[in-house]
Amino acid sequence: MKPLIFALYVMSAFGSLSAQKPVWQPSPGHTQIPIWPGAAPDPQPVAGPEYAETSGKDFLPGGRPAVGVSNVTRPTMTVYSPKGKNTGAAVVVFPGGGYQVLAIDLEGTEVCDWLTPKGITCVLLKYRVTDVGPYPKSGPYPESPMALEDAQRAMGLVRFHAAEWRIDPHKIGVLGFSAGGHLSAAISTHYAKRLYPAVDAADKESCRPDFAAPIYPGHLSLSAAEWDAQQGAKKFVVPHPAAADKHLSLNPEIPVTPHTPPTFLLQSEDDHVDNVNDSLAYYIALKNAGVPVEMHLYAQGGHAFGLRPTKFPVTAWPQLVETWLRTIGVIAE
């Protein structure tokens, strides 16, 4: 997704900063856990305190408003444990919002409402984002390291607390939307080394997801112009890996290898924010590397629909994820 489109989308959805906005809190019985024992690494200035804002009439996914959280400088995770059966599987959820805001209910708590009745522990990560303002805004790695640092730290913490939270440490995956989908791919390919100095024993745990589900992800492909610019900087021009289509070049900051975890991709062709080529480029790279990958591409659905019902077939995607988790052995039949 291009930065200008990101900014227009986020500002249209959630408005801009104003004084005395409320702070988001999880539902009763759930507590936000700070993921850093002290100051988070690579702190960035923000335009004001963290706040939550409900979207207006211009953004009503499923006919209802969504809540966006902005100016997050103190990242947290909230653990939602199954009430009944427990499969041992866990999913760390990354809400989207252009790395400038977090769609905390639409692409966060509502995901946990779906997963926990299935016996899957849901860990909602409120990672660092900064709103549009006079300060540098956050973005995808390596433009900004903050979100990926938070994701790596959260994965280590979940594995460190696996026994306490009744989680199988070998069945911990990630699921993210839009910018959170990019973050899912980023941690799937940047797990061998932390971006920050180790803080405690949790940072000795692996931060590699066992599976990943980027949903309408962004930042994963290069445009034709970006490809040409990249090649123009080289002494010897390398033929485009997708042969005739320059638009299917994977972002080089997403270094797929055969060790990238099994991946589920979901995309609508009419997505006006995250172009379909982002998912296609990632799919091609995963396939070429021999990584188990499943992709579902729908003609209609748009962007930022989350799990809310629509008139389009894409609405059934959560059942597809459940089937996929069974086929890769994460949950039992």
Residue of 125 and 135 predicted with greater confidence: 125
* H helices, E strands: number in the chain: 7, 13
Mean pLDDT of 227-247: 49
pLDDT over threshold 70, residue 192: yes
In sequence order, which residues have a C-beta less than 8 Å from that of residue 196 and are 6 or more positions away? Answer: 41, 42, 145, 149, 152, 153
Identify whether 162 is part of a domain.
Answer: yes
Which residue do the tokens 């959630």 mark? 14
Q: How confident is the model at residue 239 (pLDDT cuts 50, 70, 90)?
A: very low
CA dihedral 230, 234, 240, 244 (to 10 degrees): 80
**pLDDT > 70: percent of the chain:** 86
Identify whether 72 is part of a domain.
Answer: yes
Are 125 and 75 in contact by the 8 Å Cβ rule? The answer is yes
In degrees rounded to 5, what are phi and psi of residue 102? -120, 120
In sequence order, which residues have a C-beta less than 8 Å from that of residue 298 and are 6 or more positions away? Answer: 266, 267, 268, 269, 312, 313, 314
Q: How confident is the model at residue 136 (pLDDT cuts 50, 70, 90)?
A: confident
In tens, the pLDDT along 41-61 reads 999 888 899 999 999 999 999
**Which residues lie across from 173 on neighbouring strands?**
91
CA 303 to CA 198: how far, in whole Å?
37
pLDDT at residue 306, as a whole number? 97
- CA distances to 131, 173, 212, 251, 333 from 185, in Å: 23, 11, 7, 11, 27
Longest Cα pair distance anywhere in the chain, in angstroms? 60
Identify whether 213 is part of a domain.
Answer: yes
In tens, the pLDDT along 71-85 reads 999 999 999 999 999
pLDDT over threshold 90, residue 147: yes
**Which residues lie across from 293 on neighbouring strands?**
263
Identify whether 333 is part of a domain.
Answer: no
pTM of the model: 0.90
Q: How confident is the model at residue 5 (pLDDT cuts 50, 70, 90)?
A: very low
Q: How confident is the model at residue 250 (pLDDT cuts 50, 70, 90)?
A: very high
CA 327 to CA 202: how far, in whole Å?
30
DSSP one-letter code for 294: E
pLDDT at residue 164, as a whole number? 97
Are 120 and 90 in contact by the 8 Å Cβ rule? The answer is yes
Q: How confident is the model at residue 6 (pLDDT cuts 50, 70, 90)?
A: very low
Burial per residue of 212-223, b for 16 or more beta-carbon CB atoms within 10 angstroms, e otherwise: bbbbbbbbbbbe
Mean pLDDT (the chain, rounded): 89
Mean pLDDT of 6-10: 45
Strands 101-103 and 67-70: antiparallel
What is the DSSP track for 78-105?
EEE--SS---S-EEEEE--STTTEEETI
Q: Residue 159: which CATH number?
A: 3.40.50.1820
Q: Residue 284: give the domain boundaries.
A: 3-327
pLDDT at residue 113, as a whole number? 98
Mean pLDDT of 170-196: 98
Q: How confident is the model at residue 226 (pLDDT cuts 50, 70, 90)?
A: low
Residue of 41 and 13 predicted with greater confidence: 41
In tens, the pLDDT along 203-213 reads 999 999 999 99
Least confident of 17-21, 91-95, 257-261: 17-21
What is the DSSP track for 112-165?
HHHHGGGT-EEEEEE--B--SSSSPPP-STTT--HHHHHHHHHHHHHHHTTTTT
**pLDDT > 90: percent of the chain:** 80
pLDDT at residue 86, as a whole number? 97
Give the number of domains in the chain.
1
Taking phi over 0 as left and psi of -120 to 50 as alpha, with beta for the rest, 178 belongs to left
Which residue do the tokens 């971006």 mark? 195
Identify whether 332 is part of a domain.
Answer: no
Mean pLDDT of 239-256: 71
